[in-house]
Amino acid sequence: MARIRASIYTSHVPAIGAALDLGKAGEPYWQKVFGGYEASKTWIKAHLPDVVFLVYNDHANAFSLECIPTFALGTAAEFAVADEGWGPRPVPKVIGDPELAAHIAQSLIQDEFDLTIVNKMDVDHGLTVPLSLLFGQPEAWPCRIIPFAVNVVQYPPPSGKRCYQLGRAIRKAIESYDAPLNVQVWGTGGMSHQLQGPRAGLINTAFDNAFLDRLIADPGGLSSLPHIDYVREAGSEGIELVMWLIARGAMSDAAPKVVHRFYHVPASNTAVGHLILENT
Amino acid sequence: MALDKPYKDIPGTTIFDAEQSRRGYHLNQFCMSLMKADNRARFKANQRAYLDEWPMTEAQKQAVLARDLNRCIALGGNIYFLAKIGATDGKSFQQMAGSMTGMTEEEYRDMMVNGGRSIDGNRFVEEKS
């Protein structure tokens, strides 16, 4: 049977990808960000999954306002890297797992999560920056990846509670798959940031660290945090953090082992948060 | 009964909800068209003519021509869509975000390096005097 061994959480700031792609990773400004991922890169070499179920959001690249799916599961064999307007990132294409993705789609819909199923979707920095942070700059990504895009662009995104419950349904779906796969679920986006209006540049370190504490120790309680608290306290784009609750919900009910925790301000406009949790 | 929109009293913030999305549909779809290199070239060659191909309001077109991102957002624009204009102009996300704050690019960058804009005094409109 497939098993979820661990979950990873990270911000997915586009400037992080640009810094890597343009060879700026060694600069002092960026070393403070990348330094926080060195232990993670070592850990993941020893805990390489067969498949990553990667929760992220599209930033007006695959989806315009023509179609705004709340939850979109990528079931394709492969996914091209999006041109977001600056040219596509020079990173490998993403190889999916259509069989496992189809199994998850059927299981989730039967569990009353009314997904959108996507067989053609370019993936943007929301998905590729986390891969770069964990895997560096390889010729090919070292595992299969199932993209799961959540609408957090047009308000309201799904509630934290809905996301957490979805994570639990994803756990059930993956653990009912009849192949001995090692699966990780990643939750990306956040932490506090606001990219628009006179309040742009907002950072709330206290909120972010309390969020990390509760995500580890009290995810069920954290899932009841209302949208308004995210946007008021963590910025209009900080609401991306609801996606972390999907990955957390996919973990077992026992307390997880905290393998790594990192927090740094800033990367461009954003507070960078990162966690690795292992099922015990 | 009207929907509850408790986010209206957050200072300096416009939440891109269904109402804003409806207002800004053509503005944002114009932005989306700039993901294609051919369209970027046509827009740069004659911005006004390119904008006139879209059923946008005159106010939206003027806001784009002035690169007034706060005005674009008030008229229904969303930052992830507006970022396509920035990409066309060769601007980074930090330059775009900073342009909405009344700060210079350097002041904004320094604020971020020093920990960002504090939440204190920035939760509610009535806190801003």
Residues in chain A closer than 8 A to B38 (CB atoms): none
Instruction: Answer yes or no: are the C-beta atoms of A157 and A111 closer than 8 Å.
Output: no
B chain contacts of residue A15, beta-carbon cutoff 8 Å: 92-94
pLDDT tens across A52-61, in order? Answer: 999 999 999 9
Is B88's Cβ below 8 Å from some Cβ in A? yes
The catalytic position among A103, A125, A227, A264 is A125
Of A85, A192, A231, the CB nearest to B35: A85
What does the pLDDT read at residue A141? 98
Q: What is the pLDDT of residue A143?
A: 98
Chain A contacts of B86, Cβ < 8 Å? 85
Q: Residues A12, A59, A103, A193: which is the catalytic one?
A: A193
What letters, b where the CB count within 10 A reaches 16 and e where it falls short, cover A119-136? eebbbbbbbbbbbbbbbe
CATH of the domain at A146: 3.40.830.10
- pLDDT tier for residue A86 given thresholds of 50, 70 and 90: confident
This prediction has a pTM of 0.97
Q: pLDDT-based confidence at A85, cuts 50/70/90? A: confident
Quick one: pLDDT at residue B129? 52
Please answer yes or no on whether B69 and A203 come within 8 Å at the CB atom: no
Residue A38 banded pLDDT, cuts 50, 70, 90: very high
Domains of chain B: 16-87 (1.10.700.10), 92-129 (no CATH)
Which of A30-34, A82-86, A264-268, B82-86 bottoms out in mean pLDDT, i.e. has the lowest? A82-86
Mean per-residue pLDDT for A135-153?
A: 98
Interface of A with B in 131-170 (CB under 8 A): 153-156
pLDDT band per the 50, 70, 90 thresholds, residue A27 = very high
The reply to whether A193 belongs to the active site is yes
Task: Answer whether A228 sits within 8 Å of B7, measured CB to CB.
Answer: yes
Interchain CB contact of A116 with B (< 8 Å): no
Long-range CB pairs of B43-51 (<8 Å, 24+ gap) are: B43/B88, B44/B88
pLDDT confidence of residue B1: 80
Burial pattern B76-106, b for ≥16 Cβ within 10 A else e, equals: bbbbbbbbbbbbbeebbbbebbbbbbebeee
| Domain carrying residue A240 | 3-278
Structural domains in chain A (count): 1
* Whether the complex's predicted ipTM surpasses the cut of 0.85: yes
Q: What is the mean pLDDT of residues A65-91?
A: 95
Round to whole Å and give the CA distance between A210 and A191. Answer: 11
Put simply, the answer to whether A198 touches B17 (Cβ < 8 Å) is no
A150: closest CA of chain B, how far (Å): 15
Residue-wise pLDDT for A105-136, tens only, equals: 999 999 999 999 999 999 999 999 999 999 99
CB contact under 8 A, A271 and B116: yes
What is the average per-residue pLDDT within A184-200? 97
Q: Which residues of chain B have pLDDT under 70?
A: 128-129
| CB within 8 Å of chain B, chain A residues 5-34 | 14-15, 18, 29
The nearest CA of chain B is from the CA of A18 a distance in Å of 10
Give yes or no for residue A91 having a pLDDT over 90: yes
Instruction: Please state the rounded mean pLDDT for residues A172-182.
Output: 98
